[in-house]
Amino acid sequence: MERCDRRLGVAVDFSPCGKVALKWALDNMVRKGDHLILINVQKDVYYEGGETQLWEATGSHIAKKYGIKPDKETLALLDDSFKEKEIVVVMKIYWGDPREKILEAIDNIPLSCLVMGCRGLSKIKRVLLGSVSNYVVNNATCPVTVVRELQERE
């Protein structure tokens, strides 16, 4: 029986919690032949189309044209998985409110599931600022896994 290609989304912002979510997805969800769709939302920049799609192994094109700076650790994680698991890696960049744009990506791509990190805001900050992960979990049309960055306790 032939398996359908899955489109697994990972919300990435190249922060520590975003890297933890990406690593978790690569270690626990990605299988040979999957399409790994990296969703990046930029708040401060406007692009005419509101969305673009790209990925290069070095990330240099991303940094120059769109101001996105993937770090070496993220690129190494993707490179290793790309070769080992024979996956397709695509980055889609959106501009606007992360909550709305992640939901837009889920529906427009469409994604089979989404993995995202959690900044671990306090209850007060979540109420005042709003939690992107909480909003996405409550409004997404696909399963969402939120990966919390483990912090060392003193």
The C-alpha torsion from 117 through 92 and 136 to 72, rounded to 10°, is 10
Rounded Cα distance between 53 and 88, Å, is: 13
State residue 14's pLDDT score.
85
| Dist. CA 67–CA 87, nearest whole Å | 26
- Give which of 66, 100, 75, 69 is closest to 22, Cα–Cα: 75
Type of residue numbered 148? R
pLDDT at 56: 44
In terms of Cα–Cα distance, which of 108, 96, 127, 22 is closest to 135? 127
What does the pLDDT read at residue 15?
85
| Topology (CATH) of 7-148 | Rossmann fold (3.40.50)
Spatial distance between the Cα atoms of 105 and 40, rounded to a whole number of angstroms = 10
pLDDT of residue 1: 40
pLDDT for 148: 83
Quick check: pTM over 0.85?
no
Question: Within 13 Å, how many C-alpha atoms sit on residue 129's CB side?
Answer: 12
Tokens representing 118?
């959690």
Mean pLDDT in order along the chain per 10 residues (154 residues): 75 88 94 92 62 46 61 81 84 90 96 88 55 91 89 47
